[in-house]
């Protein structure tokens, strides 16, 4: 890919991408350091993602113990132009519990009710559930072949095209075929 991408357009696409989903993929580590994958319904507020999780879920204990996680939003296989180039946003986050007596708890739970309906109206009163703010610290966005970007800075406001290394090919025919796919 020879032309430089319009980073403002890519950033706009990246910021809108999570709006296509009602849940996020969540990667946490337990106290022994073993990774655990799960998912959770979420709401977004002021650039942060919020999940309301049960103590019965391993990720709740992991978020409490470690205070960090990775979040993944990924295009469905059915909608992707190519399986190996699914659009995806990966975020490294700090996880902070929003306690029930905090001023933000009720307004955030109202957002859950607005997004997910009356079921959340009942769930919000379950004492074994906890609300976590997932605050992105860094991330990566892949828009397709040769369209990988890093996200950094305050509010992930800095975007860079990851073109410094790229794919390497042992022969010119494979390199030409990859170029054709990425155009």
Element of type H or E holding 112: helix 105-116
**What per-residue confidence (pLDDT) applies to 1?**
44
The contacts of residue 112 (CB under 8 Å, 6+ apart) are 41, 43, 50, 52, 120, 123, 124
Tell me the whole-structure pTM to 2 decimals. 0.88
Q: What is the pLDDT of residues 15-67, one digit of tens each?
A: 999 999 999 999 999 999 999 999 999 999 999 999 999 999 999 999 999 99
Enumerate domains of the chain plus CATH numbers: 7-182 (2.30.110.10)
DSSP state string for 21-86: -SEEEEEEE-TT--EEEEEEEEEEETTEEEEEEETTSHHHHHHHHH-EEEEEEE--TTT-SSGGG-
Element (H, E) at 15: helix 7-16
Round to whole Å and give the CA distance between 55 and 119. 18
**116 neighbors 41 (Cβ within 8 angstroms):** yes
For 123-175, the pLDDT digits (tens) are 999 999 999 999 999 999 999 988 999 999 999 999 999 875 555 556 676 66
Q: At residue 108, does pLDDT exceed 90?
A: yes
**And the tokens for 159?**
């975007």
Encode pLDDT of 60-101 as tens digits.
Answer: 999 999 999 999 999 999 999 999 999 999 999 999 999 999
Closest by CA to 112, choosing from 32, 45, 39, is: 45
How many Å apart are CA 88 and CA 91, to the nearest integer?
A: 10
User: Collapsing DSSP states into helix, strand and coil, what is residue 110?
Assistant: helix
């Amino acid at each position: 890919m020879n032309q430089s991408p319009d980073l403002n357009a890519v950033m706009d696409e990246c910021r809108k991408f999570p709006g296509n989903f009602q849940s996020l993929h969540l990667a946490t580590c337990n106290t022994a350091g073993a990774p655990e994958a799960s998912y959770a319904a979420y709401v977004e507020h002021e650039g942060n993602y919020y999940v309301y999780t049960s103590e019965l879920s391993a990720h709740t204990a992991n978020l409490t113990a470690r205070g960090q996680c990775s979040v993944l939003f990924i295009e469905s296989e059915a909608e992707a132009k190519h399986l190996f180039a699914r659009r995806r946003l990966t975020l490294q986050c700090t996880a902070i519990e929003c306690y029930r007596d905090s001023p933000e708890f009720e307004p955030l739970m109202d957002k859950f009710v607005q997004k997910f309906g009356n079921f959340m109206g009942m769930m919000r009163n379950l004492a074994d559930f906890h609300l976590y703010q997932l605050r992105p610290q860094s991330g990566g966005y892949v828009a397709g072949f040769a369209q990988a970007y890093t996200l950094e800075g305050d509010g992930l406001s800095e975007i860079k095209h990851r073109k410094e290394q790229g794919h390497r090919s042992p022969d010119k025919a494979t390199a030409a075929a990859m170029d054709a796919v990425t155009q």
